[in-house]
Amino acid sequence: MSIAMTAKEISEAWLKYIEDTFLVENGCDRPDVGEKFKLLEESGELGLARERDRITTDMLIAEILNGTPESRSKMFSITGPGALALVRDRIQCGTQLLIGFVQKGVQINIEGEGEQSLEQFFRQMLFQRPV
């Protein structure tokens, strides 16, 4: 079974999910992560870093998503700004995709029921290849 949601509804749920999971204290919103992301972007190295570190970024995202809030906090505190900047890049790509859908007034069908299916949809977005 699938449920239809507007892109606006999904975007609101996405932001809460991202804030609760990744943008916690010591997470992907740390100042040093923001600086590293900006440096990668401005130097033109972001695309290369995306591809070069894709598997490592996938593994880090999987570990974050499978962890408890306590284990995520510990992982964030020991993970360098470069690795977290690439996670932040994935979040930004998903956010930009949803913004485009909202602007077009798209309705999205999500397979399954309830919050778990929405969380699975968000996981798929995080593991997509950024363009």
Domain layout of the chain by residue ranges? 2-126
Q: How confident is the model at residue 110 (pLDDT cuts 50, 70, 90)?
A: confident
User: In 3-state terms, what secondary structure has residue 6?
Assistant: strand
DSSP labels, 91-103: HHHHHHHHHHHHH
- The structure tokens listed for 83 are 């690795």
Q: What is the DSSP letter of 109?
A: E
Q: Over 80: is that where the pLDDT of 36 sits?
A: yes
Using pLDDT thresholds of 50, 70 and 90, give the confidence band for residue 130.
Answer: low
Judged by DSSP in three states, 26 sits in: coil
pLDDT over threshold 70, residue 113: no
Question: Which contacts qualify for 97-106: CB closer than 8 Å, 24 or more apart?
Answer: 97/125, 98/7, 98/10, 98/11, 98/14, 98/125, 99/11, 101/7, 101/10, 101/11, 102/6, 102/7, 102/8, 102/11, 104/7, 105/6, 105/7, 106/6, 106/7
Q: pLDDT tens digits, residue range 70-91?
A: 999 999 999 999 999 999 999 9
At 11, give phi and psi (nearest 5°).
-60, -40
